[in-house]
Structure 1
């Protein structure tokens, strides 16, 4: 991958969800790591633009049903995992379908699942196939435990975060 990578999250109907440009930091056994420095811009669809107030890194695993964002302090959300289809990689782009469910770890250690209502609603609206629903829920259930106890969610990400601070 090149020095800058386009990140594109889409919804199941292929509509643009979130997108940004991030810096390639490296790849390890957990996946591809990209970073955003303070001031990095992300955009929701064609509308809302957000400017990062803290550095952050994103993990794009190969053949997994999630992506993860690791935020620098003092942001209250330390880790934010989107349940997605497996990431599609090209030389300068990562693309995935956001499947609504999110696993969040707060800086105080609290772990919660968000957007379960949106996941249920979109199963009907977009007609999610049964295998997609099953994979998304299994990934969500696994992440609830993993973000609190397992790598790369405990220390590995900090090396990458140091690179963009």
Structure 2
């Protein structure tokens, strides 16, 4: 492994890298989350859109089947997912508006029936690997804390009780737990201030950063299921 990441128990994949070298718009991306005890978590299929200073963008279409062990549903609306650069290809994390890279964000627009706008999973060990015969797998370890924005409400941190419980049950290293708690606080402050990728003209609209990627996804025949 040529870049630092948290030590995660097996069977978290070992043949991974910090960036999807050679990925192209239209490529399949399967986002696969794990928990810190290596239990499988949510799996979400998507299509790669491209990258910018903030990171890599993935379109996750409404109607796609989203599942984890014991649960599954069809996505209620389109979403775009942002994965911050993990390989130092951007200057710090300047493109996102925050210093931490330990997160994956999903952005929604007015099509979401419950008014969800932004859902940030504080995560670690974010990495990529190729799928056979084609496509990519985005792996991450979900660390419980989420920063949430819904239409008409103040942004907040969710699942703090779960983070406290899992810190004890799973044995989160103290340094890792502290850095992720700080990451959640930084992300919440940026979201509330409307900084970087979290800037939006109104709380009832999609963020400016995501809007262009929504437009690109819906204009691309290979990405558009409607």
TM range (shorter): over 0.9
Equivalent in the alignment of 1:67:
104
Q: Would the aligned equivalents of 2:44 and 2:60 in 1 still touch at CA under 8 Å?
A: no
- Name the SS for the 1:146 alignment partner: helix
Distance 1:132 1:81 in 2: 18
CA radius of gyration, larger in:
2
Alignment of 1:47-62 (within 5 A): 47-62=70-85
Equivalent in the alignment of 2:121:
82
Equivalent in the alignment of 1:8:
32
Superposition deviation, residue 162 in structure 1:
2.1
Q: Aligned pair 1:105/2:149, yes or no?
A: yes
Q: Would the aligned equivalents of 2:78 and 2:111 in 1 still touch at CA under 8 Å?
A: no
Alignment of 1:29-48 (within 5 A): 29-45=53-69, 47-48=70-71
- Name the SS for the 2:59 alignment partner: strand
Equivalent in the alignment of 1:139:
183
- Name the SS for the 1:143 alignment partner: helix
Equivalent in the alignment of 2:133:
none
Unaligned 5+ segments in structure 2 are 1-22, 87-100, 131-135, 200-207, 219-226
Higher strand share: 1
Distance 1:104 1:89 in 2: 25
Distance 2:31 2:167 in 1: 24
Distance 1:152 1:88 in 2: 21
How many residues are matched? 164
**So what's the TM-score if we normalise by structure 1?**
0.93
- Name the SS for the 2:197 alignment partner: coil
**Deviation beyond 3 Å, 4+ runs, structure 1:** none
Distance 1:31 1:38 in 2: 22
Unaligned 5+ segments in structure 1 are none
